[in-house]
Structure 1
Amino acid sequence: MKRIDVVYVMLRDDSGENLLMVKNYGENGSYYTLPGGAVEAGETLQEAAIREAKEETGLDVSIGGLFSVSEDFFEERGHHAIFFIFAGQILDGEIAIAFPEEIEEVTWMPIQHAAQYLHIPEKAEERVRANCSVPYILKGQVIQTS
């Protein structure tokens, strides 16, 4: 099994009630995720999260603490995936789709609706609403908490 690290960024609107979601084209139909993707060789989790958010939404973001870490096995692909969801903040930019062959839509979605796509246990939905996270530490320094 090949280990794959995947990062996602949880971005809220000004009201704090909506999350920015990306609708991806897939082999078995379209599906929603938070903005994110695979970490490339030589990248930190932070660098990958910022890059992926920019590529998928057109927005410049900063990341804060970690919301969750989870893992799964994809036997058909031979992948052992580790998923890191970061709390994030929009710094600048306008929503734009840079890769229309991959991304169908970028949209704000109410938390209660978006939660079904986050692949987190029901009990964790309250943590999404409360904007809970733990510090992300890079090379001994706390990057940010939210």
Structure 2
Amino acid sequence: MKRVDVAYAFIFNEIEQKDLMVKNKSSGWSLPDGAVEKGETFEQAAMRESKEETNLIIKTEHIVAINEAFFENKGHHALFITYKAKIVKGAIQIIHKDEVDDIKWMDINTANQLMPYHDGGVESLLESSAPYTFQG
């Protein structure tokens, strides 16, 4: 199986209690995400993909989830790392209309339905934190 690394950005508006989600043409709704490119860290990928998908510049805070899956039909072994992130600047805009259909702030219940792979839902991501050190 081919190893595929994917980085996600969990951007949560604490005042409105909503998180930012992207509707990708190929895979439906998810957090801003994408494959880690050669020579790139997971953190760099999360920031780059957020900019490419939403036009937002973000700052990652910490890892809130690590998921792993086998996709037998594609022959992939995937590792997903999700970072909690804050918006630094920018306005939401679809840059790549051939890849992204929509971008929306989703309430917690809707987000939980769209992301059933996080035990405890979005609420668990708000409480989670894992140390991370890039060692060069």
User: Could you tell me the TM-score, scaled by structure 1's length?
Assistant: 0.86
Q: Secondary structure at the match of 1:98?
A: coil
Question: Alpha carbon RMSD of aligned pairs, Å?
Answer: 1.7
User: Cα deviations across residues 3-60 of structure 1 (Å, max 9, x unaligned)?
Assistant: 000010000125151000001112xxx6100001100000011111100000000000
Partner residue of 2:128 out of 123, 126, 132: 132
Question: What one-letter code is carried by the residue in structure 1 that aligns with 2:134?
Answer: L
Question: What one-letter code is carried by the residue in structure 1 that aligns with 2:50?
Answer: A
Which position in structure 2 is the counterpart of 1:7? 7
User: Cα deviations across residues 60-101 of structure 1 (Å, max 9, x unaligned)?
Assistant: 001111111111111111110001111001000000111101
Q: How does 1:67-106 map to 2 (within 5 A)?
A: 67-106=64-103
Structure 1 residue runs without a partner (length 5+): 141-146
Aligned counterparts of 2:64 and 2:16: Cα–Cα separation in 1: 15
Question: What one-letter code is carried by the residue in structure 1 that aligns with 2:111?
Answer: A
Structure 2 residue runs without a partner (length 5+): none
Q: Across the two proteins, how many residue pairs are aligned to each other?
A: 136
Aligned counterparts of 1:121 and 1:45: Cα–Cα separation in 2: 19
Deviating 4+ runs (over 4 angstroms): none
Aligned counterparts of 1:125 and 1:110: Cα–Cα separation in 2: 10
Q: Secondary structure at the match of 1:83?
A: strand
Question: What one-letter code is carried by the residue in structure 1 that aligns with 2:43?
Answer: Q
